[in-house]
Every structure is written in structure tokens, then in C-alpha cells.
Amino acid sequence: MDHIREEFNTRVDIKDAVSLRRFFNRYAFFSTNDLAMILGLCPSTIRIHKRYAGIKRANASHSKPENPSIHTHIDLPEDWDTPEWWRANYPRYGTYILRRATGLSYRTVRRRIQKHCGPLRSHREAAGSMHPCYTKEWLQEYYVDQGLSQKRCGAIAGVSDSTIRDWLVHLGFQVRSRYGSSPLDQVSRVRVS
């Protein structure tokens, strides 16, 4: 770690944004607090230097994993506003992505879906089409066969452990305790006053 401090003190000009940016990008895997400890500076000083270098506050290495299905791009054909197009794409993409692809308002997209496809899906049904972890097969493989915890399954799928637990219960799986491998038959909640 001394080599990092030496590099910062000798090679980095704190008045040069490019030099600072190069240094912070090289050590982007360190948090602001880690860099502060290594360099012997206060975290707010590191934040000031990062801001001056044009580096955003939220570091990409510490951000929430992205859901690739949210960033799906749909190529619109010339005759996209037909009942067949809506029936084919609504189950696959959902209202949010269709709204972004068509440029229509949320309300208009909902009305077209209701007109051409029938009633809108519930949030649970819509989310189920977006994530692979909402299928019985996926949960069977990772949670039951591999014996992974709810937290680990959530990390793999990019969702919270409580979301995994909700889907386990919804799909009829026997849920293990967070603290052991015994299944929970009933969940009792104790209210602390």
C-alpha cells in the first residue's frame, strides 16, 4: 500500500484533473474510505479530488448489478402499431420497455395493451417474465440442488434475498431458515416494543 501512497505523492498533480482521473481510474476498485486510509487523507478530501477529476460519486464497482433485460432495445418495424405487434411484444417486454421503445406515454401504452391484449399483468407476473430466477427450474437448480442460500441466489440473480424468499414461497418450495438448514414450517414474527 505504500507504493500507492508514494505514487499519489510523487506522480499525481492534484491541480491536474487528468492526472487525478488517471490515478482514481487505476485504483477504482478501492472505495473512497479505503483510498483515504491508504493515502493518509480524510475521505472528504478524496471526494473533493474525485469531483475535481470528474469522477461521479457512485463508483461503478460498488453499484447494484444491472438487469440486462431493462436495457433491451426493440427495433420498431414500420407497421408496429398493430394488435399483432402488441400481443407479440407485451408478454416479452412489459410496459416500461414498450414505452421507451415507442415513445408513447405510460398511460397510452397501458391503454393500447388493454385494448389489444386484455387485462394488464400483475407486478408479480410482469416481474416473472423479466428474471430467470422466477421460474421453478431456476430455483430448483440453485436453491435446492446446489444448496445455495437465499442471499447467494439473490446475488446471482441480481435481486434481494427477500425477493428470492417471496418466489420460493409463491412457487411452493420449502424455505430453509436463514440460520440453519432446517425448513421453516411457519414464520413467526416477534414485534419489539
The residue extents of the domains of the chain are: 2-62, 69-128, 131-193
User: 96 or 144: which carries more pLDDT confidence?
Assistant: 144
Q: Fill in the amino acid letter for 12.
A: V
Residue 193 has pLDDT above 50, yes or no: no
pLDDT, tens digit, 9 for 90 and up, residues 35-83: 888 888 888 888 888 888 888 776 444 444 444 444 556 778 888 889 9
pTM above 0.85, yes or no: no
Say if residue 189's pLDDT is above 50: no
Q: What is the pLDDT of residue 179?
A: 52
